[in-house]
Amino acid sequence: MTVQYVQYKGIKFPPGYNSVESLSFAENKFEVQDDDIFNVTYPKSGTVWMTEILSLILSGGDPAWNQSVLNSLRAPWFSTQLGLETAHDSPSPRLLTCHLPIQIFPKAFFTSKAKVVYTSRDPRDIVVSYYYFTKMCTTYEDPKSFNQFLDSFLSGDVPHGSWFDHIKGWMELEGRSNIFFISYEELKQNLRGTVERLCHFLGKELDDAAITSVVENTSFQAMRRNKMCNSTMLPKELMDQEKGTFLRKGICGDWKNHFTVAQSEYFDRVYQEKMQGLNRIFPWEQT
C-alpha cells in the first residue's frame, strides 16, 4: 500500500496524527513551560524506554502511573494533533515526546529553562529496528527489502528524515546545562548509573529503593509485560501485532545478524563521510 506522507520542511512524516498544521504549530507556537521535560529521539533509539524511565523518576519510583496510564498520555507527542491536546491538559511538570530535528523543535524552548533528554543509538541497530517497525505500522510504507530500506536510511529518505542530520543538529547543543545526552548503549550497560545521573539532571533525587524500582520496572521484560507501554493497546489499523512485536529484541548489535559484509562496508563509508568533523566518539564506534 502506498502511504501519502506529510511533507514538512523537506522531511516526510507519517500521516494520521501528523499534519503540516500540527508540525508548524509545534515549531512556531507551542508554549514551552520552564519545568517541561522533553524526551527527544530519532525513531527506534529507545523513545518508549526513556518515557518509562522519566515517568518513574517523576513518580518517585512508584510504578502505579506507568502501569495504569498509557505512555502516550503520560508523555504526549505534542507535534501531533492528538498529542497537542493531551499536552495542553497535562499538569506540570510535563513530559513531552518527539522525534523532531532541531530545526523544527519549538522555538520557545530556546528562551526557556525547559530540559531535553536526547537519547541516541547505534544507527545500524536503528535501521534494523526501523525496518521491522515499518512492516507492522500501517502509517509507514512497507519496505521492499532490507537492502532498499538501508539505502533509503543512508540517503535520509525515510520518515522523520536523516539520522545523520538529526544527531548532528542536536549535538550542536552539547554543553548546555539543560540538555542531557545519553545513548541506548549506555542505558543497556549501566541502567542504574544512568537513572542516578538523570535524577540529578532533573533535580529529583531518589533514595536507593526508589531507584531500584525505576530500574526493575524499566527492564525489557517488565516493559514487555506492561500493556501501558508495550503497544499492544494500539488499534490494528495503526499497528498490526501479527506482523511483529514493538518491543522486539532490546539488544545492542542486532545489526550483525542482518548486514552483509558489503552492506556493512557501504554503511561505514557513508558514516565516515557524513560524521566527519564531529568531535566525539559514540559508544557504538568503540565496538
Distance in Å, CB of 26 to ligand A3P, minimum: 18
What track of x and - describes contact with ligand A3P for positions 170 through 209 (by CB under 6 A)?
A: ----------------------------------------
99: annotated active-site residue: yes
Task: Name which of 81 and 219 has its Cβ closer to ligand A3P.
Answer: 219
Among the listed residues 99, 166, 200, 258, the single catalytic one is: 99
Distance in Å, CB of 159 to ligand A3P, minimum: 12
Task: Residue 40: count other Cβ atoms within 10 Å of its Cβ.
Answer: 23
What track of x and - describes contact with ligand A3P for positions 143 through 172 (by CB under 6 A)?
A: ------------------------------
> Euclidean distance between the first and final Cα of the chain, in Å?
38
Contacts 24+ apart (CB under 8 A), 243-250: 243/135, 243/136, 244/132, 244/133, 244/135, 244/136, 246/48, 246/133, 246/136, 247/48, 247/220, 247/223, 248/129, 248/132, 250/220
Residue 19, judged by CB atoms within 10 A of its CB (0-12, 13-18, 19+), counts as: middle
Q: Of the candidates 82, 238, 247, 275, which one interacts with ligand A3P according to CB under 6 A?
A: 247
Distance in Å, CB of 186 to ligand A3P, minimum: 12
Task: Name which of 35 and 254 has its Cβ closer to ligand A3P.
Answer: 254
Q: Tell me the window of 17-25, 85-93, 154-162, 244-252 that interacts with ligand A3P (CB under 6 A).
A: 244-252
Angstrom distance (rounded) from CA 191 to CA 144: 36
What track of x and - describes contact with ligand A3P for positions 209 through 228 (by CB under 6 A)?
A: ---------xxx--x-----
Beta-bridge partner residues of 117: 39, 180
Angstrom distance (rounded) from CA 130 to CA 58: 29
Q: Of the candidates 212, 254, 282, 283, which one interacts with ligand A3P according to CB under 6 A?
A: 254
Distance in Å, CB of 219 to ligand A3P, minimum: 6
Task: Name which of 44 and 115 has its Cβ closer to ligand A3P.
Answer: 44
Residue 105, judged by CB atoms within 10 A of its CB (0-12, 13-18, 19+), counts as: buried
Q: Tell me the window of 14-22, 57-65, 166-174, 247-255 that interacts with ligand A3P (CB under 6 A).
A: 247-255
Cα angle 126, 10, 23; round to 5: 85
Alpha helices in 139-207 (DSSP H): 146-155, 163-171, 184-189, 191-202
Task: Name which of 27 and 52 has its Cβ closer to ligand A3P.
Answer: 52
Distance in Å, CB of 230 to ligand A3P, minimum: 9
C-alpha cell at 249: 529484541
Residues of span 36-65 touching ligand A3P by CB under 6 A = 41, 43-49
Name the residue among 186, 206, 233, 195 with its Cα closest to residue 52: 195
Task: Residue 203: count other Cβ atoms within 10 Å of its Cβ.
Answer: 8
What track of x and - describes contact with ligand A3P for positions 124 through 143 (by CB under 6 A)?
A: -x---x--x-----------
Q: Which residues are catalytically annotated?
A: 99
User: Which residues of this protein are in contact with ligand A3P, per CB under 6 A?
Assistant: 41, 43-49, 125, 129, 132, 218-220, 223, 247-250, 254
